[in-house]
Structures are given as structure tokens and as C-alpha cells.
A and B are shown apart, each in its own frame.
Chain A
Amino acid sequence: MAQDVISSVELQGKKDSAVFKRRRWPSRSSLRENVTAYLFALPWLLNLLLLIAYPVGAAIYYSFTEYSILQPPRWVGLQNYRDMFVEDPLFWTALYNTCYYAVFAVPLGLIISLWLALLLNQHIPGIGFFRSTFFLPSIVPVVAASVVWAWILNPEFGLINDLLGRVGLYRPPWLTSEHWSKPAFIIMSLWGIGPTTIIFLAGLQDIPQHLYEAAEIDGANPLQKLWSVTLPLLTPTIFFNLVVGLINAFQIFTQVYIISEGGPLWSTLFYVYYLWQHGFRFFKMGYASALALVLFVIIMILTSIVMISSKRWVYYEAEQR
């Protein structure tokens, strides 16, 4: 501590500076430590700047241009945005489709993965096997899974319609109908709830056992335990999964690209696929960049709404409510 120099600095505009601000030039060795730290962080910082910040900045710039990739970008100001909101009916279709999908897929995914996590939170022999099995679908490559799902949902020979037919129920035309194609994608999305389930599982295991015991002493049945102990303490996890789920739901692409290409009749024209079409098939990268920016803003707004509302329904363990 011999090198510390405590100096009192008068804070600007305050005569009676009750607070002494310690200002000292960092010592040589702590400087060296800082430099080492920065060097270690350098690869990641470069990645942030070159591969994330620069492309995002470029995309923002391109959104104000007309850019066919083959020719230099031509500044058009807000034309792309005007076209998007005023001229292009398919933009609203894509947005509607994506919101429809998110509104159903995200809550359904949360409920089912929570239910699954509750089931998997038991200490019975072989539970590890079940946990792994339910996680397995999410590591299957999306392309392969999409092709298989297209067959499972086949109106004539698919597994689902076969089962429905055997019990005498209506066999929907799934991916060949503009009314059933989005539900088909929603069902497909439920296959990948593995990671969400694992996170819920971790959240469940964080809940202290003594709370359950206390509830039991008070005479709570399982449902009441779920409602009064499990769910409130799980709300931070639910919050996380909700935000992440929303962000992912809005960006669905691969399944659309492989299975339906936006059809039939644009019923599965999801936003990112629409964006990709304009960027890479119609030579309109400027318009695609504008679409990307709008998507970013939409997701940000939705995430902010969830975050602001979270103050009301998310209980952190140490808080008093």
C-alpha cells in the first residue's frame, strides 16, 4: 500500500466535498495485469468488432440503399422502409405468419417443457436415460429433422394422419393446406424443447427442499405445492425461457427453406425466409437489410415488454413480496 497516494479532489461544483475521490494513476504492475487481461480478451473483442459490430453496422447502412450485391450500393434513403410498410402486402403477411407462429409455439413450448421438466425431476433409477432421450431430438440436424417431419405430416401416408385416421378423427391436409400449414410448423417446433426442458430442470433443482416440506406440513396437495412453491420460484427461469423462446421463434428459417418455401399460398411465408428471398434470390440486399433492421426492432420491443412486465411476476429468491 506504500504506493497508494490518496489525494482529495474537489468534485466539480461542490465546495464541501465530503467524498474524497481516490484518483491515482494505476501502478505499473497493475497496468501490466490490465494489458494481459485485454490481450486475452482480444480474440473475442476482435470477433465482436469484425464479425458482429461491423456486419450489423453495414446492414444498417445497406438498409438505406438499393444493393444487388453485384453492383455497388445506391443510396435511396427511406425508400426501402416506405416500400415495406406501404407498398408490400407480403411484408404484412410474413409478419402476421411469424407472429401467429410465435404466439402459439412459444407458450405451448414453455408449458410442455415445464411439464416434462416436472416429470424428469424425480430421483428414480434410470432418470438420466430419460433426460438424455428427451434432449436428443434437439441435437438432430435441423435439415434432416425437417425432411423427416415433412413425411410424418404427410396427408396420405404420414404417421400423424395414420393415427388420427385409425381413431376415426379428421385427417388434416397439413402442409398442403394454407390453413393447416402453420399448425404443422408449430407441432414441429415442439420437437425441439430439449434445451428448454433442461433449463427448467436446473431451475427446479434450485428450489429448496425445505419449502416443499413446509408446504406439506401445512397440508398442501401436489397441485397447491406446484402453484404456491414451484411456480413462483421458477419464474426467473420461465422469464429466461420466454425471452429466448420469443427471440428464436421470430427467426425460424431452416424448416421453411427445406419444407415449404413459403407455400402454399404464402401461408408459411415467415419473416426470415422472406428476408432471405429478397437478399439472395431477388438481388435486393438493401431491402433485406431493412427487413432485418425492422425485425431487430420488433424483437427488441417485445423483449422490453417482457422485461418490464417481469417486475410484476418474476420473484427472485431473496426478495420480499
Chain B
Amino acid sequence: MSDKKELGKSRLSRRELLRGFVGLGAVSVLAGCTGLPVPAQNNAQPVAADQEEQAETQQQAPSGEVANIAYWTFWADRWGEFQREIVEEYNKSQSEVQVEMLIAPWGELNTKLLTAISAGTPPDFTIIGRSDAIEYAVRGGILPLDDHISAEPRINLDDWFEVAITEVQWKGQTFALPFESGTYAAWLNSALFEEVGLDPSTPPTIWAEVDAAAEKLTLGDANSGYERLGFYPWNSRTDILGWLAGGEWYDEENQKITAVTPENIAAFEWIKQYADKYGGEAIERFTSGLGGGDTEDDPFLRGRVAISFKGSWSMSAKYEYAPDLPFVIWPLPYREGASNASINQGSACVLPKGSPNPEAAFKFLTFMAIDGIAMWVPKAADMVSRKDQTEIFPEALPDTEEAHAWWKVYNDALAYARHEPKMPVRLFWNEQLDAARDSVILGQKSPEEALQEAQDATQKELDSALASG
């Protein structure tokens, strides 16, 4: 290698320079990606270069020092802006806690939260779907709030509707405070009702009446396709059908799935009745060609479906896209012999496990659960979860007698609505239930068989999840 030496110093020193840069580059890539931990105080966090949403946190300081907390929200677009306004109001109203909001849209939030919690870098505060809360709670993913609640004089758990607060309680502990709620009710298209000679002011209250109305309202048949469907039971959630038939899906005390009961079977028989009469496959063909719910092409708003079960959140879409459509909202029709039922679904304010500053975050949580929701409902047209707030009326809805009457129907439902079964395998169960429903629609299984299968599969998962939890 004597040649190299003869070429002189320049070649070697250039090589050294190159090597130096490569080494520097490698080290900086390392530092950037892994994030060297900062020597930690009690609640401080490692500051990683690409995590702009993680503001530096400090231990709960004596008054005078500001606590910065991070809030992850799943509301995006218009609703994300409403959330931002609420957060800004809070930040302006006091100086102890300053909140920084990050938007992680609906599908992403759960994944992002899961990975952040396991990595030890969760936000201080977040709002998740209320039905997800128990799944997190059982696995220790969110913190119990009882100590904070008892220390906060503003909070009295009785102020919330029972259905909302019990959904976030597990084994005597409260894991969240409800944020917004939403219930289901039945809608009918008055113009279509009058067209076929039905009276829209006396909507069908029991299933037999719905069936009779649906028959008159349907245009078309299974072979040549449908132009309009009067009604079909599976255009919304499957579980409400069981409750409307008088059944229960889950025995919380004994932690047993109770899908195979006469009432639930009757609910699935109702599904089968429509599948047999109108053709399950034909209905599926028809519905697959319809537009998305609560958009301009919403099947109900377009008059393609005459009777529909819709959530409270659909009202603002209706007044935006089809303001002139005459319609009636009334409580969901139930099976003869049963009684009013609905579902209450919403979101909940939680502190994730590993929340860097739970004290400060809980202050914001209190604000959101009591004051924030009062600001949210007028803008977003969601419903409240507190008994003392049912008078709040959304700005998005017209201030007419009619709209107030419809809004009242939804609010009244809060008193008798149910929440989803509280169990750590909720998502698995929902999938099983939907598959059972599909197999009945497509004529693959009898209602009892389908429910039995769903029950057995879920019970097995539930038992193993509870055993390890």
C-alpha cells in the first residue's frame, strides 16, 4: 500500500474528513431517533425531537408556576376547531394550567394512545369513546379518579345520568367522567307517509305497526330491485334491537353473556322476518348503493328509506342538507310487551396511565366534564350527560318549536337508555353480534344458532380476559 503514502497528505485528510462527517451523521441520527432522556424530576418526560405535542412538564408547582399539559383529541375539522376554542377559553380563564391540544383523528387516536401508554409517553389528558373506557380500565390503561373526585368539591357523581356514569365504573372505582352523550330515536318521512295514506302524527310504537307501515312504504321487489324501502331493522345498531325486545345482552354481576334468551331471539326473528319477506340479499344490494349516513346522500334524507333509527347527532346534518324535509322523531318502537329502550353512547374524559401531570390534568378534566361540555353542545349539537344541563339547546338546530320537541325526545331517552355491555372484550363481542346478524340476514343460520355461536365465542374470550386481568 505504499502507493497511498506517495500521493501525499491531501487524500488521507479528505478521507478523515469524510469519516468524521459520516460518524457525526450516524450519531446525530441515533440521537434524533431514540431521544436521549433528560435527567428526570418527578413528573418530567423525555423530550423527543419529533413529539411537538409533548410540552415540557413540571411537577405540580406552588401557585405562580404554570403546569403545561397535553390533551389529545379525536375531533377533527370543524369539531376540532370547536374543541380548540374551548381549550383557549380555559387557558385564558386561569393561569395555573395551560393546555396544548393535539388532534389525532378518530381511527388513529386509539392506536396512538396504546403505543404511547406502553412507551411511557402518553398525554396528560385525553377523551376517548366511553365504551372503550372499561377496556382500558381493566387493563390498567387509564387511572382511577376516585381520589381526585373526592378532593374536588364541584364533582358529585349523582349529577350525571346513571347510564353515563355507570358505564365508566368498574369494581367500585370510577375511571372517567362522561363528556358528551348521544341517544337513538326513530325518524319517519312525513311526506312519504302521507303519500301512502298513513298518518305521520301517529307514528308506529310497536314492531307490528312498523311492519305494516313498512309494507305500504316499500317500492319494488326482491327480483327487480328496490327503489325505496319502508324500513329494515338493521339500518343502525344491532344491540338496541335486543333491548327493544325486552332482552339483555350481558349479566354484569356474573359476567355472563346472555345472548340466547327468548327476547333476543325474538329480536333476531324480527331481522329474519324482513330478510325472508324482502330478500336479505336484495336488501343488501339496495343498501350498498345508498350514500353515507348524515351526508348529503343520506338514505333517509334522500327519501330512499322511509323509517330510520338515527342518533341525536344526525339532527344537525338533517337541518343542513335537507332543511325542508318534513319529518317526525319519536322514541324507538319496541316489541309488543316490552318498553322504551335506547342506547346512550358518548365519550369520556380520562387520564391515561403514565399521565405526567395528573393533578393539573384533573383540573382540566373537571372543567371539560362540567363547563366544557356546556360550551360544546351548542356548537357541536351533541347531547349532555349531566342532569342539570338538559336545557342547553344546540345553535346548529333552528330555534323552532318543532326542533325543540325533537331535541326533547332525545333528551328524554337519556333516562331509559342503556349503555353497551361493560366488558373487556367489547369490540370482539360487537363483531360477533354483527356476524350473527349477517348470518341471519343471508339465511345462513337460524337466530338461535347465530346467537348461540356469538355467545359461546365471546364467553370464552371474556373468561380468559377476566382471568388474566
Binding site for B on A (CB under 8 A): 2-3, 27, 29-30, 32, 35-36, 39-40, 42-43, 46, 50, 66, 68-71, 74, 87, 154-157, 173, 175-178, 262-266, 280-283
**Smallest CB-CB separation from A156: which chain B residue?**
B289
0/1 interface trace, chain B 128-139, chain A, CB 8 Å (1 if under): 000000011001
Can you report 23 residue pairs joining A to B where beta carbons are below 8 Å apart?
A46-B29, A66-B468, A69-B118, A70-B114, A70-B118, A70-B140, A70-B141, A74-B468, A154-B289, A155-B284, A155-B285, A155-B288, A156-B286, A173-B281, A176-B285, A263-B435, A265-B438, A265-B444, A281-B428, A282-B425, A283-B135, A283-B139, A283-B424
Chain A nearest CB, measured from B305 CB (Å): 14
Given A156-B289, A265-B442, are A69 and B114 also a contact pair (CB < 8 Å)? yes
**Smallest CB-CB separation from B283: which chain A residue?**
A176
User: In the docked arrangement, what's the CA distance between A35 and B12, Å?
Assistant: 13
Q: Within the complex, which residue of B2, B25, B286, B438 is in contact with A264, where a contact is CB–CB below 8 Å?
A: B438
Chain A nearest CB, measured from B452 CB (Å): 14
Q: Within the complex, which residue of A42, A156, A280 is in contact with B22, where a contact is CB–CB below 8 Å?
A: A42
Kindly list the 5 A-B residue pairs having the minimum CB-CB distance in the complex, ordered from nearest.
Answer: A156-B289, A70-B141, A176-B284, A70-B139, A155-B285
Most buried by A among B225, B288, B435: B288
**B340 interface contact, C-beta 8 A:** no
Residues from chain B with a CB closer than 8 A to the CB of A29 are 1, 4
User: In the docked arrangement, what's the CA distance between A69 and B112, Å?
Assistant: 12
Residues from chain B with a CB closer than 8 A to the CB of A3 are 1-2
User: In the docked arrangement, what's the CA distance between A153 and B344, Å?
Assistant: 35
Chain B nearest CB, measured from A155 CB (Å): 4
Residues from chain A with a CB closer than 8 A to the CB of B442 are 177-178, 264-265
Given A70-B140, A156-B225, A281-B427, are A39 and B23 also a contact pair (CB < 8 Å)? yes
Q: Apart from A265-B439, A265-B444, what are 15 other A-B pairs with CB-CB below 8 Å? A: A2-B2, A30-B1, A36-B18, A42-B23, A66-B468, A70-B140, A155-B284, A155-B285, A156-B289, A173-B284, A177-B281, A265-B438, A280-B114, A281-B428, A283-B465
**Smallest CB-CB separation from B441: which chain A residue?**
A264
User: In the docked arrangement, what's the CA distance between A178 and B284, Å?
Assistant: 12
**Smallest CB-CB separation from A280: which chain B residue?**
B111
Given A39-B23, A173-B284, A283-B135, are A157 and B438 also a contact pair (CB < 8 Å)? no
Residues from chain A with a CB closer than 8 A to the CB of B281 are 173, 176-177
Residues from chain B with a CB closer than 8 A to the CB of A2 are 2
**Smallest CB-CB separation from A261: which chain B residue?**
B431
**Smallest CB-CB separation from A40: which chain B residue?**
B22
Chain B nearest CB, measured from A262 CB (Å): 8
User: In the docked arrangement, what's the CA distance between A136 and B25, Å?
Assistant: 36
0/1 interface trace, chain B 104-135, chain A, CB 8 Å (1 if under): 00000011001101100000000000000001
Residues from chain B with a CB closer than 8 A to the CB of A280 are 110-111, 114
**B9 interface contact, C-beta 8 A:** no
User: In the docked arrangement, what's the CA distance between A175 and B439, Å?
Assistant: 15
Residues from chain B with a CB closer than 8 A to the CB of A71 are 139-140
User: In the docked arrangement, what's the CA distance between A176 and B289, Å?
Assistant: 11
Residues from chain B with a CB closer than 8 A to the CB of A50 are 33
Given A29-B1, A70-B117, A282-B427, are A156 and B285 also a contact pair (CB < 8 Å)? yes
Chain A nearest CB, measured from B15 CB (Å): 6
**B148 interface contact, C-beta 8 A:** no
User: In the docked arrangement, what's the CA distance between A86 and B385, Å?
Assistant: 45
Most buried by B among A27, A155, A175: A155
Chain A nearest CB, measured from B290 CB (Å): 9
Chain B nearest CB, measured from A261 CB (Å): 9
Q: Are A69 and B117 in contact (CB under 8 A)?
A: yes
Q: Are A46 and B289 in contact (CB under 8 A)?
A: no
User: In the docked arrangement, what's the CA distance between A105 and B342, Å?
Assistant: 45
Q: Within the complex, which residue of B141, B286, B438 is in contact with A263, where a contact is CB–CB below 8 Å?
A: B438
**Smallest CB-CB separation from A176: which chain B residue?**
B284
Q: Are A36 and B289 in contact (CB under 8 A)?
A: no
User: In the docked arrangement, what's the CA distance between A39 and B434, Å?
Assistant: 55
Chain B nearest CB, measured from A40 CB (Å): 6
Given A32-B15, A70-B353, are A39 and B26 also a contact pair (CB < 8 Å)? yes
Q: Are A36 and B19 in contact (CB under 8 A)?
A: yes
User: In the docked arrangement, what's the CA distance between A194 and B465, Å?
Assistant: 45
Residues from chain B with a CB closer than 8 A to the CB of A156 are 225, 285-286, 288-289
Most buried by B among A27, A36, A282: A282
**B30 interface contact, C-beta 8 A:** yes
Q: Are B139 and A46 in contact (CB under 8 A)?
A: no
User: In the docked arrangement, what's the CA distance between A50 and B288, Å?
Assistant: 45
Residues from chain B with a CB closer than 8 A to the CB of A35 are 19
Residues from chain B with a CB closer than 8 A to the CB of A43 are 25-26, 29
**Smallest CB-CB separation from A178: which chain B residue?**
B442
User: In the docked arrangement, what's the CA distance between A29 and B12, Å?
Assistant: 10
User: In the docked arrangement, what's the CA distance between A214 and B312, Å?
Assistant: 77
0/1 interface trace, chain B 416-443, chain A, CB 8 Å (1 if under): 0000000011011001001100110010
Chain A nearest CB, measured from B291 CB (Å): 11
Chain A nearest CB, measured from B34 CB (Å): 8
Chain A nearest CB, measured from B178 CB (Å): 22
Q: Are A42 and B1 in contact (CB under 8 A)?
A: no
Chain A nearest CB, measured from B134 CB (Å): 12
- Interface positions, chain B 394-426, Cβ under 8 Å from A, are 424-425
Q: Within the complex, which residue of B4, B19, B136, B427 is in contact with A39, where a contact is CB–CB below 8 Å?
A: B19
Q: Are A27 and B438 in contact (CB under 8 A)?
A: no
**Smallest CB-CB separation from A171: which chain B residue?**
B285
User: In the docked arrangement, what's the CA distance between A2 and B281, Å?
Assistant: 86
Residues from chain A with a CB closer than 8 A to the CB of B428 are 281-282
User: In the docked arrangement, what's the CA distance between A54 and B170, Å?
Assistant: 37
User: In the docked arrangement, what's the CA distance between A35 and B285, Å?
Assistant: 66
Residues from chain A with a CB closer than 8 A to the CB of B25 are 43
Q: Are A68 and B139 in contact (CB under 8 A)?
A: yes
Chain B nearest CB, measured from A68 CB (Å): 5
**Smallest CB-CB separation from B21: which chain A residue?**
A39
User: In the docked arrangement, what's the CA distance between A175 and B287, Å?
Assistant: 12
**Smallest CB-CB separation from B5: which chain A residue?**
A29
User: In the docked arrangement, what's the CA distance between A43 and B23, Å?
Assistant: 9
User: In the docked arrangement, what's the CA distance between A46 and B30, Å?
Assistant: 9
Residues from chain B with a CB closer than 8 A to the CB of A262 are 431
**Smallest CB-CB separation from A177: which chain B residue?**
B281
**Smallest CB-CB separation from A283: which chain B residue?**
B139
User: In the docked arrangement, what's the CA distance between A35 and B23, Å?
Assistant: 11
**Smallest CB-CB separation from B428: which chain A residue?**
A282
**Smallest CB-CB separation from B135: which chain A residue?**
A283
User: In the docked arrangement, what's the CA distance between A264 and B439, Å?
Assistant: 9
Residues from chain B with a CB closer than 8 A to the CB of A68 are 139
**Smallest CB-CB separation from A26: which chain B residue?**
B1
Residues from chain B with a CB closer than 8 A to the CB of A173 are 281, 284-285
